[in-house]
Amino acid sequence: MVLSLQELAQRFGAVCPVETTGELCDVASLEVAQSRHVAFAETKKQIPALLKSQAGAVFIRQDVADLVQEPCPPLLVVASPQKSFIEAMLLFRPQPERRPAGIAPSAHVDPTAQLGSDCIVHPGAVIGRDVKIGERCEIGPGAVIGDGCVLGDDCLLYAYVVLYPGMQLKNRIIIHATAVIGADGFGYHFENGRFLKIPHTGTVVIEDDVEIGAGATIDRGMIEATIIGTGTKLDNQVMIAHNCRIGRGNVFASQVGLAGSVTTGEYVQMGGKVGIADHCHIATGVKLGGSAGVMSDLLVPGTYHDIPAIPEKDALKNHVNIRRVPEMRKEIKDLGRQLAELQAQLQQLAAGKTPESAECA
């Protein structure tokens, strides 16, 4: 699709003060955009990049546009630049049409399984006994859905996703390739010099509108369910251990790891490689910076960093102090030398000698 700047502005209800005959056919970031690309600038921090950009048009908020005083690409003033940019991206790069519903000949679907209308089952997929799948679901190549699993409507399982028996997925769930849902938790009992496996007979419940990244793993509960709350988004290679209960709208970046029985409130955010010790509770509104380590409950909303995790203000002070360590070591050595000299002088005074007489002797 090719659109003029005016056509694009009209389609998005954007204010466009510049008259131009340029044509637009794709999207790009500010830094690499050329004359036929649309880009976006969300904050005033992007103004330097905007001034250098070769984009044919840039979505921008009015308050940011008001700060631009130098020549720049044509600006399309909208309420949400990122939202408009995403819509333009899908306009210029239409997604592949959904393939026709049906079950591939090489897929194995147990006769007792129930599939809703308009489902797609790709080659090599395996659907076990007594599985119930809602409408408009898509099961990717090589995916395995164990016996007794229940899926709601509009679920999408990419290639080689594995659902162990008895998993429960609600509606509009996206699970990316090779994720594993419902493996046994890492639970063992030490007896007579051996680690004996603790059976896990619980399940995993994934609420509506959850997205789970590639290679992520969520273990089943030992007795009850491991729960992933509505609207939560888990990045690639996230690990959720047995008995965890994740609240609504949580967002975890790659390689976050939660030990057993962790619970979270709503809208908790975790940066990459955050680790949470077992049985900790993370309150609503807590944000954890990358690689933070949580050893005990965090009950006050706010941003935390470091190991063990502490409030951001304290963590920043610690980082500043760490940078001063070389300087402080020198100061301590200097003070040590001065102290040694003073102690020597005091010993001489205690012996009835002045420093001068001691030197003469």
Instruction: Catalytic residue, from 37, 122, 176, 242: name it.
Output: 242
Strand partners, 205: 168, 227
351 burial type by CB count under 10 A (0-12 exposed, 13-18 middle, 19+ buried): exposed
Both structure tokens of 161: 């996703």
Distances (CA, A) of 222 to 102, 183, 241, 294: 36, 11, 10, 23
Q: Are 295 and 277 in contact (CB under 8 A)?
A: yes
Q: Which residues of 142-175 are buried (b: 16+ CB within 10 A; e: fewer)?
A: bbbbbbbbbbbbbbbbbbbbbbbbbbbbbbbbbb
122 is catalytic: no
Q: How far apart are the C-alpha atoms of 60 and 79, rounded to whole Å?
A: 8
Catalytic positions are: 242
